Amino acid sequence: MGVVAERQREASGGGATFEMSCTVAPKNLPGAGFSVLVQSQESIEGAVRTIMNLSPDNVLHYGGATDPQRRDSLMLTKSGPLEFRFRLAGVQLADRGFYWCDVHALTKPADGGAGGTWTEAASAESNKVRINFQENGPSFAVAIQSDRSSVFPWETAKMECALSVSGSAPKSDDVAYEVSWFFSRLRGGSAPALLAAVDRYGVVRGGAGGRNTSSDVSVERRDANTFLLRVHGTQDSDSGEYHCSATPWYLSASTGAWTQAQELTSPAVFLTVRFAVWESLKLPLLYGSMASLGVGIFSLVLGLLCAHCCCRNTLHTPRSRNKLMDLEMD
């Protein structure tokens, strides 16, 4: 009896599916049944592990090397009279190694009937098929942008921290981020203060940040890869540099565990809180001008009334110039 193993589906990366077929070529074994064991080892000289076993009666048994939580990812079926298929879904780094089929041909006595005992007649091992791939993992990048570079006092400033994934990008549900926002009052300051942070579970915590007591900050997750910082009620002390740092976590398809990626730091954006001179003086000047004009008009009217009513002399008669002229004549 000969057994040939062939790779039907290549596992080129973590999370892919590996599939192998084993074809049996018996000689002088009429009516034989086959017991197929799928075995593996990490290296040529490594220990042999039994993954699973299919009996001649199509009863499936799992080997001791099989993780109970991964049994749903394994399949061994009889796909033809002399062909068997083994499938391993969601391969991990621990699955790398050599795989082969160990086939035992079993026969029953001719007069044993349906309840006869299987007797091994021959056995053979197939060639080995290797699972070998490299785990590169996804790569991340972070960028920051602000809707405005300057605001007026008591306005709200918004800054967005956006992350991007490239390479072997996992599903959106398999990625989480720890995002922190920092503030420095001096451009290029050496000691930025923590404003707020959100962990990969979505819990937000605030930081002292050396900020004033009038303004406050809030953090919002807009989508899977975007986080928004709002600075409410800005004051002059909120002018400075802002940047965010992010630590990605992703569910590795190769290990099946959450993996922490390298921390990323965005460039800094500078926010200026401008003092609105005209805006602050416009209303006082307007009110002052209107008050001054009103007081002036009232004073003018009052003066005219007083002059017209109180200061007029009704007994005064103009002096005649006739006597003076007569005196001069004389």
pLDDT of residue 326: 57
Q: What average pLDDT score do residues 108-121 get? A: 72
Residue 114 has pLDDT above 70, yes or no: no
pLDDT of residue 37: 94
Residue 124: Cβ within 10 Å count: 16
pLDDT in tens, 68-108: 888 888 999 999 989 999 999 888 878 889 999 999 999 88
pLDDT of residue 169: 60
Q: What average pLDDT score do residues 128-151 get? A: 85
Residue 330 has pLDDT above 70, yes or no: no
Residue 155 exposed, middle or buried by CB count within 10 Å (0-12, 13-18, 19+): middle
Count of positions (residues) in the chain: 330
Q: Is 311 helix (H, G, I), strand (E, B) or coil?
A: coil
Which residues 6+ apart lie within 8 Å of 197 measured at CB?
178, 179, 180, 181, 204, 205, 207, 219
- Of the two residues 194 and 173, the one the predictor is more confident about is 194
Residue 314 has pLDDT above 80, yes or no: no
d(CA 321, CA 265): 104
d(CA 271, CA 240): 5
Q: What average pLDDT score do residues 103-129 get? A: 82
Q: Give CA 248 to chain center in angstroms.
A: 7
For residue 23, list its beta bridge partners: 4, 83
Q: Smallest Cα–Cα separation from 148: which of 275, 274, 278?
A: 274
pLDDT in tens, 206-226: 776 555 555 688 888 888 889
Residue 316 has pLDDT above 70, yes or no: no
pLDDT of residue 35: 93
Q: 249 and 238 in contact (C-beta within 8 Å)?
A: no
pLDDT in tens, 223-258: 888 999 999 888 888 888 999 999 999 887 666 778
d(CA 241, CA 187): 6
Residue-wise DSSP of 161-222: EEEEEEES---GGGEEEEEEEEEESSTT-S--EEEEEE-TTS-EEE--TT--SS-EEEEEEE
d(CA 238, CA 271): 8
Structure token pair of residue 86: 């083994």
pLDDT of residue 140: 87
pLDDT of residue 310: 74
161-173 burial code (b ≥16 CB/10 A, e <16): bbbebeebebeee
Q: What is the pTM of this model?
A: 0.53
